[in-house]
Structure 1
């Protein structure tokens, strides 16, 4: 949004914005994401896009989360890294996250670490997370990790290596396979309205 529009929005009382914005095509996400896994609320949008208290990404970010270099992140449908409180997403390298993957509070995902021999140097490796994954509270995913579809990461897990075949539950430090999932029982659900951040999938 340009500066003039932001000034107008700031000057307009919130009770008026809450009532009328959802009826404008540009703000349909306020209604159409309501029953999804990552509903976009008026307050979240207002804090991020009008008051500018969180990062300027194309998806909602909680005011207590930090997303570093969002331009290096590719999100899928209903996937918003930083949506939950206390997330730390560091995308010095590329991060790719598939459709319908959810990230719990206090999760860390990083793509760079310091060199063991020169802490001024960053060693950067991309991170890839598949579709329909669940990253549990307080889990940490380290640089270079690839997680396949339907990888469930237990709370507090430290993921140091890839599980690119997916369909597993992993946990511990370092993370290891705790259970293999039956692919036939895994549900690949879809929402009525499919949004990638603030935009409909087709856009």
Structure 2
């Protein structure tokens, strides 16, 4: 997976915190307002499938509605051993717990507890990761 190593290296160079043995699929999009804080923190052995969107910052930019709507700027944490399915969207100020699974196409609007499987729009718990 030499291309994966390049992708991970480039995201680290962009000041995102990324653990060891992480897989980042093609077309990961990170929506982030430039700041001094590390808005994306990815643990070790995390698998991020293709087409995932991490929205650390959301605002209407130059629109005249900006003073009247809630804007979000925050941190996204993906803990060790989590798996993010293809096309999932994770919104600001979300923690994906250790060993959790986010189903393909899910929109994560709330924290995901460790060893929990979520899916849907918005993402809801559908099962648990049972480790023996």
Task: Give the TM-score range, shorter chain.
Answer: 0.7 to 0.9
1:89 to partner: Cα distance:
1.7
The residue that corresponds to 2:94 in the other structure is: 145
1:122 to partner: Cα distance:
5.3
1:157 to partner: Cα distance:
0.3
Compare relative contact order (CA 8 Å, sep 6+) and give the higher one, 1 or 2. Answer: 2
Which aligned segments of 4 or more residues in structure 1 are displaced greater than 4 angstroms?
Answer: none
Structure whose CA Rg is larger: 1
1:74 to partner: Cα distance:
0.3
Runs of 5+ consecutive residues of structure 2 not aligned to the other structure:
none
What's the TM-score, normalizing by structure 1? 0.53
Matched, 1:95 2:20: no
Q: Secondary structure at the match of 1:61?
A: helix
Q: Distance in 2 between matches of 1:98 and 1:77?
A: 7
Q: Distance in 2 between matches of 1:173 and 1:123?
A: 19
The residue that corresponds to 1:130 in the other structure is: 79
Matched, 1:79 2:28: no
What's the TM-score, normalizing by structure 2? 0.79
Q: Which has the higher helix share?
A: 1
Q: Distance in 2 between matches of 1:95 and 1:129?
A: 8
Q: Secondary structure at the match of 2:7?
A: coil
The residue that corresponds to 2:6 in the other structure is: 60
1:95-114 → structure 2 map (5 Å cutoff): 95-114=40-59
Count of aligned pairs between the two proteins: 121
Q: CA RMSD in A?
A: 2.7
Runs of 5+ consecutive residues of structure 1 not aligned to the other structure:
1-38, 46-58, 186-203
Q: Which has the higher strand share?
A: 2
The residue that corresponds to 1:199 in the other structure is: none
Does structure 2 retain, via aligned residues, the 8 Å contact 1:70–1:91? Answer: no
